[in-house]
Chains A and B, each alone.
Chain A
């Protein structure tokens, strides 16, 4: 390719990438605009603090009450639980596969895990409902096991394949030279793993965790089936909860387009959107901090 052509080609690619970037930001803004347009009407009936901190969600009462706090806590509790399970176990499994397991085991395990990631969430919900919930009910002697605890476990297991698969890739990408240098200094395999390999892979591990959390917070079907669906603020993890997503899915069908209930559900959408946005921002900031401190390039 001569110089002129190469230059044109490079510019073309640059513009195309620019267009893609701008488009995705535009789409994001459009979604946000749409949520606000559909949901804004609600706030002439309920104040914003009343909506977010209100403790009663009774759309069918007279007059209806739209306090989203039970749903917000429901989402936060279930997501936190699922996140703790998926991230700790997921990274643990990934470390085992990348650093300890023989190659044959690793290949088989990776294939199985990728398969697990493709199973539809209803199936997880169904298994949670018919297998896990009765088990937990008997083991912990609960009146009903359809609660935040069970939902966290189901969601955690669902998010696990994502976390394992991306973490494993990140650990695998740590250069062999780092491991060898550490071993040659008289470090054990274990010290090498925890002091060199895991810290070197931290950006990938963080990405894996965020995607896992994202999968958990956005999940609807499975959580609708096992969380118990009570619109009450939970006092313990064994109380039934309803998440934001589950509520939207469960109630959207019974609303009148443009009605107050309809607007309230869009209000929930805005809250969910903001939570996700906030989590991403915090991660970005934390990540920028740690990488400049540790001096990665």
Chain B
């Protein structure tokens, strides 16, 4: 297995508050890496450091390195805009734009210079199909995306990310607002996507982490406590704190 991404001594600060302490974590290519840990332990912070979305928040500072294909993304020569095209992100709350379903998915490709209607139609179709949403929305592509259910919105947002053809997809608790059926669909989707993409997913749901991921990292108070294959973490954790957390004894 090869590392698609890797963090080296990654620390993140919000003004004076240190949210992450020197985290070293590999992210394997074409695999799903799950990040687990109690609320406030720094999972979202870590995720946002992987595509420099933390820079959007005033007063954040980063130390250490984040490598993408061996190159540090915090190198001053790296353009964050180009980076985010390669490392896409799905947020906790589904956040479609207040426009039509078609325009939502076509937004990224349009930004990146694709103008031809037939090209856009093709991309939209392909992305919606890949996100397992095409059949449900093919008759209402030009209707508002805000009329979709929460689960459909979350898959739309994934389709929107897929449309810019990223290499890595970061997902921050993508199922937290979804019912069990939508969640199951989303998990199926993640399973299929990993053939072509590298996926990092934050989740509070232990069963979900166990079901969808190949590798798991356990965070506590801004530190990475343990990282291993998901099987190992859930069957034979090395750390007592990991075991306590996954068996529900705290957090």
Residues of A within 8 A of B (CB): 103, 175, 177-188, 191, 195-196, 199-200, 294-297
Contacts and interface: CB of A to CB of B under 8 A. Distances in A.
Given A177-B93, A294-B99, A295-B144, A186 B108 contact: yes
A23 B162 CA distance: 54
B98 A296 contact: yes
B143 A183 contact: no
B91 interface: yes
Contact of A185 (B88, B93, B147): B88
Given A180-B56, A297-B98, A185 B146 contact: no
A180 B91 contact: yes
Contacts of A191: 111
Contacts, number: 80
A181 B144 CA distance: 17
Nearest to A175: B95
Contacts of A183: 53, 56, 84
B53 A186 contact: no
Residue of A179, A200, A294 contacting most chain B CB atoms (<10 Å): A294
B185 to A, nearest CB: 21
A103 B59 CA distance: 12
Contacts of B111: 185-187, 191, 195
A191 B145 CA distance: 20
Contacts of B142: 295
A195 B95 CA distance: 15
Given A178-B95, A191-B111, A195-B107, A186 B144 contact: no
B95 A185 contact: no
Contacts of A185: 84-85, 88, 107-108, 111, 160-161, 164
Contact of B98 (A103, A179, A184, A200): A200
A134 to B, nearest CB: 45
Interface residues of B, number: 31
27 contacts: A177-B95, A179-B56, A180-B56, A181-B97, A181-B157, A184-B88, A184-B161, A185-B85, A185-B164, A186-B85, A186-B108, A186-B164, A188-B81, A195-B111, A196-B97, A199-B99, A200-B97, A294-B98, A294-B99, A294-B100, A295-B100, A295-B143, A295-B144, A295-B147, A297-B98, A297-B146, A297-B147
Nearest to A295: B144
6 shortest interchain CB distances as A-B pairs = A295-B144, A186-B85, A177-B95, A184-B89, A185-B108, A297-B146
A44 to B, nearest CB: 54
Contact of A295 (B93, B146, B161): B146
Contact of B144 (A175, A182, A196, A297): A297
Nearest to B93: A177
B75 to A, nearest CB: 18
Residue of A179, A183, A294 contacting most chain B CB atoms (<10 Å): A183
Nearest to A185: B108
Interface string B2-35: 0000000000000000000000000000000000
Interface string B47-58: 000010100101
